[in-house]
Chain A
Amino acid sequence: MKLNVVNVLIPIIAIVFIFALWVLFAGQSPIIQPISYNHKVHIEEAGLECIDCHKYAESMTRASIPNIDLCEDCHGDEPISKSPEEKKLIEFIEQKQNIPWKQIYSVPDHVYFSHRRHVVIGELNCSNCHGNVSELTAPAQYPFLIPSMGNCIDCHKQLKITNDCLACHF
């Protein structure tokens, strides 16, 4: 019996297509944080800079995500606002439990990405990669710039920075 090529191919193509769609979208389901943190309020009203909370953005590879030990410097027993989100925070602080933040921006472990290099030596602004966070009243659900190799290379090409594999991959 001779196989009908079209009859075999169509289901395969369909399966591949569905699978590709699934891969594309499943990876991008919105990320919901345990507390709906308001960057805008903290920056505009409390007068904080990015570096005040993301303490190591200028000195380490990771910028770091702050947790209760930092939050409790300002948020004590008495709530500052009427926000229900602050209540959640105070609960975490009282129970001495770290907030299970979900990371939006991450690179695989075979990639070396240093905030210090990009921020201090490369003189990039946080917003170059993270968007205009100061306007966000709720946490970003998607990364502003997906930390993919394509995005890295685009910027490196534009700014004539090295494209050597050994600059990032170990």
Chain B
Amino acid sequence: MEIKRREFLKLLGGASGAIALGSFGCNQFIDVPDKIIEIAKNGAGIESWKNTICALCPGGCGIKVRLIDGIPVYIKGNPIYPVNQGGMCPLGHSALELLFNPDRVKSPLKKIGLPGGGKWESLNWDEALNIISKKIIELRNEGRPHQVVFLDGSNQHGLMKDHIERFMKAYGSPNYFQFPSIKNDAVPYHLLQGNSKIPSYDFLNAKYVLSFGINYLEESYSPVYYTKLYSYLRGSTGEGRTRFVHIDSRMSLTSANADRWIPITPGTYGALALGIAFVLIKEKLIDANFIKSHTSGYEDWVDKNGIMHLGYKNNVLANYYPERVFQITGVQSETILELARELGNNHPSLVLGGDGSSNNTNGTFSQMAVHSLNALLGNFEKDGGIFYVDETPLKNLPHFELDDIAKQGIEQNPFGNSLDMAFPFADFSIQTLIQNILAEKPYPISVLFIYKGNPLFQTLNHHEFIEALKKIPLVVSFDSFINETNEYANIILPDHTFLEQWNIISNVPSVGFSHIGIQQPVIEPIYDTRSSADILIELGNKAYGNNTKPFPFEDYVSEIKYRVEGVYNSGEGAIVTEGLKGSWLEFLNQRGWHIGTYDSFDEFWNLLLERGGWWNPIRKKKGFSEIFNTPTRKFEFYSQVLKNRIDDIVKKKGIDNSTHDIEFVLGRLNIKTRGDVIFLPHHEPIPYDDGMPIYLTTFQPITNRDGHASNLPLMQEMFGFLTRHYWTSWVELNPETASAYGISDDDWVWIESVNGSIKAKAKIHPGVMPSVAAVPFGLGHTSYGRYAKDYGVNPNSIMKNLYDTINGIPATQSTKVKISKAK
């Protein structure tokens, strides 16, 4: 025991100039520069607070940072910020460990030796930026600016997206991609509604909430926002309290808190949704008026050529009767009846899906099936239903002229488009990117910029991704840490942590009002780091030949200020303030008054910094024509959008639109269904391997969403705080499954797929479906600093290289495995 402890101490001490304390106090985990120690030693202990926005997950919570003599010592929620109203999640509290992390990149680094070899040399900023600007100027001079690709992994919903897009456009490349991308998440809605917006859900007025796989209290877009809504509803003790029912293969935080948890076989959520639709239709629990006036494809229909097409109703009635759905999903027929009756009789009732139900090869079709229930119930633009928030009134950036090189560049075929026919609705799939780089098609990539994130760790197909990264002559990473992806960068430009940086977070998806939150530095940068946004301004304003500069701003904060002027000018909404409830604002608004009046923009801006954000709880009512942008201007059970796109692919491919061509295309898309059913919400079977009896599913604990919190010691310790697994991975098994394999609690278990195997400790409990092995995602890093490296396992590393066939999202729930007790 003692020896191991010492080894750990050595590990903690490290080499990189971190203070080797050999201790188990709080301070062993932080690396504080001398200048800060000096302040801490001599300061008078003056306390102050600063508001900013947490950037550790996409949720966009307002936080208050406690500073002693200007040094951050504690973080709590901003009580007046409407998204989280003072609430926090564990992740937010550990932001200080990010700021003072000993593994931060403290100066620009240049790779020496082999890619991935872990050897770096320090550069000064001028040297680093010269290498980059020389390369990108050269590419422009050669007329190849489109060979620059920008991969944004920050997963933040703010102004950085516009900023980077503008840089890329001015430079002359159409290749700006986000990973993960909201647009991909929105594909099911796009297919049914012709509208790529993530809906918001009126939980507060709903009587019944049925959720399919979407772990909204833990994963999703903004867990704290949903926790607030949930607990508010739970706080009311009256009879009419909202009932929550959650469907998931594993008892997640959301399932555990629901009134009822329905375990389901992974990858069959769509079938269950349609089984429920069957009962709703049979028992006439549907909103017939809405279906009649605002949907198309419900009944069988005849097209303009006189051909009869199958409608949603008859497809559901023929194929999704409860007994068959039980066969597919493992959910008892009686349960399906109960769910449908509860859903149909408790108005208003809401249906939502995501996470576990969407990260499958059939994810898009499943989500379509789930969302179709909302159409059956007529859940749009009404109390307790689905609604869409307005865009924030930010000012657009000034127009600028593109030069000829840029014009030519952005006309090129975007690199994210599939060469083949895969993923017809993905603007971007990491799989497409990898394949295109390896094939050098439609053109080779010369420069790859990566802004934060860690796609290599988060996706599947690690091996090919590494080969692709090695192939690119110049990979530049903007990040604060060296992670798996950055290991293959040629240059790392250290960014500030979010506590040292300016940004605006606006309209986090699915949050029920438009809002902006201002991220401001709470402390001066503690190392020689620079804001990536400012670097892009510098690079973007290089004299490429066009005289107009895309960024007429000194720095990013001036750009933010410029854009926020639009919010001030609009006169809408208000800066967040104490005791300001949405209903009060609405009351004033109805009488034509404004609460948010400010004497000048400066006053507005200063107040914004002081309070942390702006919001507008008043929403413009939207007509159905606005939310249904489909060819029929209706909610399309039969997706014309999908039909048209697949027809296009077939046309491009084929000569005479023969059945042979259609077969070929559907085969490549991995669609097993044939005929009209393809374009209707349906259950698409997942191609599992034979001889693999156990479903491998993953989940993301709130302490370490998408694996980027693994460098924070507190989050590593708390990784399994519910199951008491600290700094390590585990596998959750149902007692029935465990006993079938002779596995007991805390045994080591091998999990083996066709791609390899991982070992984890067993946690046996009844909160998981039989024949399912649930492994948390987040650990198993091979890089990313001393606290992340070599703890736990990454379940993605043994997953099959599968993607949602339509929107290209990695299918992290579609692999089957063998398990055995490790000897």
Q: Complex: how many Å from CA A79 to CA B294?
A: 87
Q: Does A117 contact B (CB under 8 A)?
A: no
Q: Mark A80-111, 1 if CB is under 8 A from B, else 0.
A: 00000000000000000010000000000000
Chain A residues, CB < 8 A from B307? none
Q: Does A62 contact B (CB under 8 A)?
A: yes
Of all A-B residue pairs in the complex, the 8 with the closest CB atoms, nearest first, are A64-B44, A56-B44, A62-B45, A62-B44, A61-B45, A60-B45, A60-B44, A60-B46
Q: How far is the CB of A109 from chain B (nearest CB, A)?
A: 11
Q: Does B16 contact A (CB under 8 A)?
A: no
Q: Complex: how many Å from CA A60 to CA B740?
A: 65
Interface residues of B, CB < 8 Å — how many? 7
- Interface set, chain A 57-87, CB cutoff 8 A to B: 60-65, 67
Q: Does B590 contact A (CB under 8 A)?
A: no
Q: Does A118 contact B (CB under 8 A)?
A: no
Chain A residues, CB < 8 A from B231? none
Q: Complex: how many Å from CA A64 to CA B46?
A: 10
Could you name 20 residue pairs across A and B whose Cβ atoms are closer than 8 Å? A55-B44, A56-B44, A56-B45, A56-B46, A60-B44, A60-B45, A60-B46, A60-B47, A61-B45, A62-B43, A62-B44, A62-B45, A63-B44, A64-B43, A64-B44, A64-B45, A65-B42, A67-B42, A98-B38, A98-B42
- A-side residues, CB < 8 A to B, are 55-56, 60-65, 67, 98
Q: How far is the CB of B37 from chain A (nearest CB, A)?
A: 13
Chain B residues, CB < 8 A from A61? 45
Q: Complex: how many Å from CA A60 to CA B47?
A: 9
Q: Complex: how many Å from CA A61 to CA B38?
A: 18
Q: How far is the CB of B776 from chain A (nearest CB, A)?
A: 35
Chain B residues, CB < 8 A from A60? 44-47
Q: Complex: how many Å from CA A55 to CA B69?
A: 14
Q: Complex: how many Å from CA A62 to CA B45?
A: 6
- Interface set, chain B 16-67, CB cutoff 8 A to A: 38, 42-47
Q: Complex: how many Å from CA A64 to CA B45?
A: 8
Chain B residues, CB < 8 A from A65? 42
Q: How far is the CB of A118 from chain B (nearest CB, A)?
A: 15
Q: How far is the CB of B21 from chain A (nearest CB, A)?
A: 16
Chain A residues, CB < 8 A from B46? 56, 60
Chain A residues, CB < 8 A from B44? 55-56, 60, 62-64
Q: How far is the CB of B34 from chain A (nearest CB, A)?
A: 13
Q: Complex: how many Å from CA A56 to CA B42?
A: 13
Q: How far is the CB of B23 from chain A (nearest CB, A)?
A: 15
Q: Complex: how many Å from CA A63 to CA B42?
A: 11
Chain A residues, CB < 8 A from B47? 60
Return the chain B residue nearest A64 by Cβ: B44
Q: Complex: how many Å from CA A98 to CA B35?
A: 12
Chain A residues, CB < 8 A from B42? 65, 67, 98
Q: Complex: how many Å from CA A65 to CA B45?
A: 11
Q: How far is the CB of B600 from chain A (nearest CB, A)?
A: 32
**Which of B38, B43, B46, B47 gathers most chain A CB within 10 Å?**
B46
- Interface set, chain B 575-595, CB cutoff 8 A to A: none
Other than the given A60-B45, A60-B47, A67-B42, 17 more pairs (CB < 8 A) read: A55-B44, A56-B44, A56-B45, A56-B46, A60-B44, A60-B46, A61-B45, A62-B43, A62-B44, A62-B45, A63-B44, A64-B43, A64-B44, A64-B45, A65-B42, A98-B38, A98-B42
